[in-house]
Amino acid sequence: MKLATWNVNGIRSVLNKGALQEYVLESNPDILCLQETKAQQEQVELGMEFSEYDVYFNSAVKKGYSGTAIFTKVKPLSVAYGIGIEEHDQEGRVITAEFEKFYLVTVYTPNAKRDLSRLAYRQVWEDDFLAYIKKLEETKPVIFCGDLNVAHKEIDLANPKTNTMNAGFTKEERAKFDQVVASGLVDAFRYLHPDTVGAYSWWSYMGGARARNIGWRIDYFVVSEALAPLLKEVDIRSDVTGSDHCPVEIEVKL
C-alpha cells in the first residue's frame, strides 16, 4: 500500500496550478493526506483525476485557515474528525480513518509562531494528541502523518545552530517529539534512513532556499512499532513543486 502526505499550503492554489492533479496521476497513492487545505469542502472543485478516491475534509471554523483532508481509494470502516477536545478541534487539524488493520491519522500540528506566542498552547496540544494516538493503539496499530511543524534532530534541517530559538526547532518542541519516540512510535524516514542528510520537506520562499536546499524536514510518517518492519520505503519527493512543502510517501506491506 502506498500512502502519501502533503502540506499543500492551500488546496485551491495547488489545483489552480495543476500541481495536485499532476502529482496524483504520477504517484497514484492509495491514500493521500493533505494539510493546510485552507478551504471548506464545498469551495473545492475536483476533476476526474480524483474519481477513484473517497474524500474527507476537516475544515477550520475560521475560513481560509488550516484544515486537513484524506483522499482514499480504500473505503474506511469509519472516519472521525478532531481528537475529542473542543479547545483543539476548532481548526480542522486532525482526521482519523479506520481501516481493517490500522488507523490512519492526518495531522497539521499548530505552529508555535515566529514570536513563540503559541508555544505554550502547542505543548498542551502535543500531550493531548499523543494521548489520543496511544488510545487508538489500544485497538489496532496507528500510522499518523502530516506537517508536525518540528525538525526533530540537527540532521533534520540545514542550519541547526542558527535556529535553536526559532519555531519548529525549539528545545521544547523537540522534547515533545522525543516523547513520541519514547512512547514506542517510530519516525518512518529515520527508521529506514537513519543517517541521510539533506532530506528536507519544507523550504522558505525567501532567498532561493529551495534551489539551494536550505530546508527543514517537518513532514513525517510516524508508525506504531508493530508496523515498522512492514515499511518498504519512505520517499521525500522534493522534485514535486506547487507548495512550500513537498509530499512524503511510504510503501508499507499491509
Model pLDDT, residue 28: 98
Residue identified by cell 500531550 is 127
Q: String of b and e for 157-189 (b: at least 16 CB within 10 Å)?
A: bbeeeebeebbbbbeebbebbeebeeeebbbbb
Domains of the chain with CATH codes:
2-252 (3.60.10.10)
Confirm whether pTM is higher than 0.95: yes
Confidence (pLDDT) at 147: 98
- Which one-letter DSSP state was computed for residue 245? B
Condensed to tens digits (0 to 9), the pLDDT of residues 160-213 reads 999 999 999 999 999 999 999 999 999 999 999 999 999 999 999 999 999 999
Q: Which residues are catalytic?
A: 108, 147
Q: Exposed (0-12), middle (13-18) or buried (19+): which is 46, by Cβ within 10 Å? A: middle
Question: So what's the pLDDT on residue 157?
Answer: 98
pLDDT of amino acid 46: 96
Kindly give the parts of the chain with pLDDT less than 50: none
What's the confidence (pLDDT) of residue 188?
98
Q: Residue 25 and residue 91: Cα distance in Å, rounded? A: 29
Task: Report the relative pairing of strands 219-224 and 185-187 from DSSP bridges.
Answer: antiparallel
pLDDT of amino acid 97: 98
